[in-house]
Structure 1
Amino acid sequence: MRLRLDAELEQITEQLRALARATDRLHGLLDAVLAISRELELSAVLHRVVTTAMDLVGARYGALGVLHESGEYLEQFIPVGLSEQERADLAETGFPRGKGVLGFLIRHPVPLRVDDIRSHPASAGFPAGHPRLRTLLGVAISVRGSIYGDLYLSERRDGQPFDAHDENIVVALAGAAGIAIENVRLFEQARAGSEQFQRLLLPTLPDLRPFDAAAIYRPAAQPHPLGGDWYDAILLPDDTLAVVIGDVVGHDLHAAAAMASTRNMLRALLFDRRTPPSAVLAQLDRTLQAITDNPVTTVSLARIEPAGPAWRLHWSSAGHLPPLLITPDRQAEYLNAEPGLPLGVSIEHPRPDHTHPVPPDATVVFFTDGLIEHPGHPIDQSLAELAELATAHAALPLEDYVQTLADHHPSDGHDDIAILAIRTPHT
């Protein structure tokens, strides 16, 4: 009697352990689905799918093969788990295209468990330098009803072959992966369309001779449908160059529309009024508040005017960051001055004007805050890093110069970036 009770208790205990393992796996699967759904870049989603599947079943190796649109072979292969030496050994082999057992799964997209790869009828062996794998669990990933690719796992760390529980959880993960892949593809299409729309709103700089000019817009690394950063530069009838950099608060269609309307109004005012930048900004602010519901906007409006053999920067700021002056001998100076209130805050406060000499062959850099903001760094540190970067590359042609600033900026990339650089003529 005692022996039978002990046996039953042991059976119940094992069932409880199995239930606990199943519960842990279910929680692991749910956590994995959430993690995958948070990724917003396709490459990150695909890599996360592989690493998550490996974690869920305790596999040493994993890979995801993406099918060519013909569905006949793999056009992309994402391996995980290879050591540096194994990667080096396979460097000249190239990634698998879908032969052997991998090809069998392409032709028969149902879950595949193999305890001994070499004994499988479709096995074609391993290329030189490839780890000698024994077990395989393969599951197809479908997107909108079509096979997108295959998820492969090999070698459980405990040395056991893959079992039905492993297969079930990987099949469930593959279903979630298909949805995540579709979502991120749709998001990337929408983002690409938004970026194209944003760029269409920004001007192509005209011929500004005798000045040299270049500008760049870079969308945020994190997803924002649209942004409000903009720049502009136009030659005025009085032989001066007007330069504008601005940033509308927000990241949506409203911000983009507000940016476009503000830029167009400002252009009209610049041609109509031969007045100081402060007066132009004051009139712009009154007009915007009278006829629009535009969000708060920061702007820096400058005129580069002849001043004897050199030039003079005459500017007014509506809450915007100061321009950065790089002299011909590569000295950097932020033209700090009273910034004034952003547009859309109050039309009662006066707007100050500022002037500063600009020598020939100098570069003035106007930029939005996305270039320097970083939550982990003080603003002064980011400004110092930008000044160092700007002086180190000041000899570059301006197109390369703004590209370099946008590529190596000190910010965390959470916001859009607009940069406009102007270089004064030689003497």
Structure 2
Amino acid sequence: MLREDLAAGAPNGVIGDPARLRAVSRLGLGGGADPAFDRIAAIVERLIDAPVAVVTVLTADRQHLPGQVGLPAPFAGTREMGLEHSFSRHVVDAGEPLIVADVRDDARMSDNLSIRDLGAVAYAGVPLTDSDGLVLGTLAVMDREARKWTPSEIALLVELGEVCSSELRLRIAREIADEARRHAESAHDQLILLGELTDALAGTMDIDAALTKLGHLVAGRLADWCFIALADPSGSIRHMSAAHHDPAYAELAADLTGRARQSDLKPLLRDVQSAGSIRRDDTGGGLLRAKAPELAAAAAELGSSSLLLVPITAPVTKRVLGLVLLANGAVPFTGAAEQTAAEVGRRAGMAVDNSRLYGHQRHVAEVLQQSMLPDLPIVDRIDLHGRYLPAQAGAEVGGDWYDAFAQPDGSLMLAVGDVSGHDIEAAATMGQVRNLVRGDAYGRDDAPGPLLAQLDRALHGLHVPAAATAVLARLRREGDDYLVSFANAGHPPPLLLRPDGEVEIWWETPEPLLGLLPRDPRTTHLRRVPAGSTLLLYTDGLVEDPAHLIDEGIARLGHVLRGAPTRPAEEICTKLIKTAPRRDDDIALLLARLL
């Protein structure tokens, strides 16, 4: 019966919810491939090692596939299928992840046509949601044999599902902004103002700076002066700013925010929230006097015969996030000004929402990056410390990594590397490279040079799309000293702080990066190191600066080490990071104190 209903195109339950379908339509995905979602599907397929990975978005009667890896024809070409092929519809209906080891044993799914047409047997899918929590589709993987999905695989799917949901929400927000722009009706100068506002709000993710700039753009063009307040989710005011078009009133405008801090703005915010739209007051500030008397007293000094109280609203949820108070001293506001003011509130709300989405996306990406970094082993007479810092520019993570693991023979392997790129793909590839290093080196007594050569062959043989630099080292205790053997594939040289405070820079003849052309053999270098020394491995983000030679950056690290032979290792790591000349590249470092 269910299959007949679906074939007839009858909306069923949550699938046909009008609000959900409106959100889906705002995505404008069409029926083709989407590069962003294809990349996410490819990452999922590689990390979970499933033959099929898909990003789905469901309409009332179809399942669209903007991202996919592993689907057969014709679905890989058409990028859509009927709901009779959809396992994901159950995720949309339930609003929660669906993890099934064998769909043939599940009464809800045993007659699904994907079992026959795709050979699907195991399924795991997590919901993709908009800002209202409506489930638009799924991020899912399928296997062609029964499979018990592990907790780590499910956790990774959930994390990447959050990244995917953030992309959907940003697209919906952009579409809502486009709808607002298409329907805005205002005078020519007000249209110019809105364009400048959009540029100002889109030019920074610092919402405090953006709202302050908004005030200065509006004052003198839409109103004589304005006051802006933004609340946090608990309702407490987290931002206030004011601007006047006349520089002579700058001090009074600044005083406005001070007086507002003495006033309880929550009644005013509640009034805006209950109205849900612009409140107009041509009584000389009577509304302010009733709701925020301290603010009203300051407003009277600036001139407030005509007021507009504009809500700052989230673009999707329509939740009131704050308010913009526009005031004229003598001239009443026109109807066109009201419409433009409403648009100012909407655009401010979109900027606030995007800033929060950006923060969430960055957090998810950083959690993914950190989850790929190891817990350093506890080794007798060797004190290990690692640090990773993502680039400050943008929301990206990257391919920098460090690792250390003990061998059964008592030696210790150290590795630091840098996969090219500063995004989630680089982070995912980094995870593969790090695991290949571990898997290939563990339990073997090969020197680092042959191990890196084998890693090169594995990258090519397994078609891992990596171009990476790396240093791989093995530490062995030998009498009172340590024997360090290492190989360097295009990476900055290790540094050694000796017990007497001298610093050695282990320059060697450069060898090519990993992942270009397999190189056999690679060279192993040997050093005898006295106990009490400190060995530093690091990535180029710690030393590179476009305005200077890399030698200068490495010399700077040497200066920090030379001045801290007896300092705690954590303190040395902090001092090293503070020397970085710029933060638009990731940084990874590994410090080994040989006791």
Alignment TM-score > 0.5, same fold: yes
Q: Is the 8 A contact 2:215 2:228 kept in 1?
A: no
Letter in 1 for 2:293: G
Partner of residue 150, structure 1: 322
Task: Show the 5 A alignment for 1:163-202.
Answer: 163-164=333-334, 167-202=338-373
Output the CA distance in 2 between the equivalents of 1:314 and 1:268: 19
Output the CA distance in 2 between the equivalents of 1:385 and 1:138: 55
In the alignment, does 2:290 pair up with 1:122?
yes
Letter in 1 for 2:530: P
Letter in 2 for 1:45: I
Alpha-carbon distance, 1:234 to partner: 1.6
Output the CA distance in 1 between the equivalents of 2:401 and 2:427: 9
Output the CA distance in 1 between the equivalents of 2:330 and 2:592: 66
CA gap 1:333/1:224 in 2 versus in 1, 3 angstroms: farther
Q: Is the 8 A contact 2:404 2:413 kept in 1?
A: yes
Letter in 2 for 1:37: A
Picking from 302, 307, 318, the partner of 2:473 is: 302
- Count matched residues: 395
Output the CA distance in 2 between the equivalents of 1:64 and 1:121: 17
Partner of residue 8, structure 1: none
Partner of residue 191, structure 2: 26
Letter in 1 for 2:456: D
CA gap 1:163/1:379 in 2 versus in 1, 3 angstroms: farther
CA gap 1:154/1:330 in 2 versus in 1, 3 angstroms: farther
Q: Is the 8 A contact 1:386 1:409 kept in 2?
A: yes
Output the CA distance in 1 between the equivalents of 2:189 and 2:553: 45
Letter in 2 for 1:56: V
Partner of residue 390, structure 2: 219
Partner of residue 110, structure 1: 277
Alpha-carbon distance, 1:308 to partner: 4.0
Alpha-carbon distance, 1:237 to partner: 3.3
Partner of residue 12, structure 1: none
CA gap 1:304/1:377 in 2 versus in 1, 3 angstroms: same
Task: Show the 5 A alignment for 1:26-425.
Answer: 26-39=191-204, 41=205, 44-58=206-220, 62-69=227-234, 73-79=235-241, 90=258, 97-99=264-266, 104-112=271-279, 116-117=284-285, 120-122=288-290, 124-126=292-294, 133-135=302-304, 137-143=308-314, 144-153=316-325, 163-164=333-334, 167-348=338-519, 350-392=521-563, 395-406=566-577, 408-425=578-595
Q: Is the 8 A contact 2:407 2:413 kept in 1?
A: yes
More displaced 10-residue stretch of structure 1: 144-153 or 333-342: 144-153
Q: Is the 8 A contact 1:50 1:64 kept in 2?
A: no
Output the CA distance in 1 between the equivalents of 2:549 and 2:338: 50
Q: Which runs of 5+ in 2 are unaligned?
A: 1-185, 244-249
CA gap 1:101/1:250 in 2 versus in 1, 3 angstroms: closer
Alpha-carbon distance, 1:341 to partner: 0.8
CA gap 1:83/1:392 in 2 versus in 1, 3 angstroms: farther
Output the CA distance in 1 between the equivalents of 2:557 and 2:342: 49
What is the Cα-based RMSD across aligned positions, in Å?
A: 3.6
* Deviation digits for residues 89-119 of structure 1 (CA, Å, limit 9, x no counterpart): 959x957541565664455443245574478
Alpha-carbon distance, 1:421 to partner: 1.0
TM-score, normalising length from structure 1? 0.78
Output the CA distance in 2 between the equivalents of 1:325 and 1:130: 64
Alpha-carbon distance, 1:47 to partner: 2.9
Alpha-carbon distance, 1:269 to partner: 2.7
CA gap 1:277/1:97 in 2 versus in 1, 3 angstroms: farther
CA gap 1:283/1:393 in 2 versus in 1, 3 angstroms: same
CA gap 1:134/1:103 in 2 versus in 1, 3 angstroms: farther
Q: Is the 8 A contact 2:280 2:308 kept in 1?
A: yes
Letter in 2 for 1:318: A
More displaced 10-residue stretch of structure 1: 160-169 or 44-53: 160-169
Output the CA distance in 2 between the equivalents of 1:64 and 1:298: 49
CA gap 1:160/1:413 in 2 versus in 1, 3 angstroms: farther
Alpha-carbon distance, 1:265 to partner: 2.1
CA gap 1:120/1:204 in 2 versus in 1, 3 angstroms: closer
More displaced 10-residue stretch of structure 1: 190-199 or 116-125: 116-125
Q: Is the 8 A contact 1:323 1:364 kept in 2?
A: yes
Report which structure shows greater RCO (CA 8 Å, sep ≥6): 1
Q: Is the 8 A contact 2:309 2:324 kept in 1?
A: yes
Alpha-carbon distance, 1:83 to partner: 6.4
Alpha-carbon distance, 1:317 to partner: 0.5
3-state SS, counterpart of residue 122 of structure 1: helix
CA gap 1:90/1:313 in 2 versus in 1, 3 angstroms: farther
Alpha-carbon distance, 1:283 to partner: 1.4
Alpha-carbon distance, 1:376 to partner: 4.4
Alpha-carbon distance, 1:307 to partner: 4.5
Letter in 2 for 1:148: V
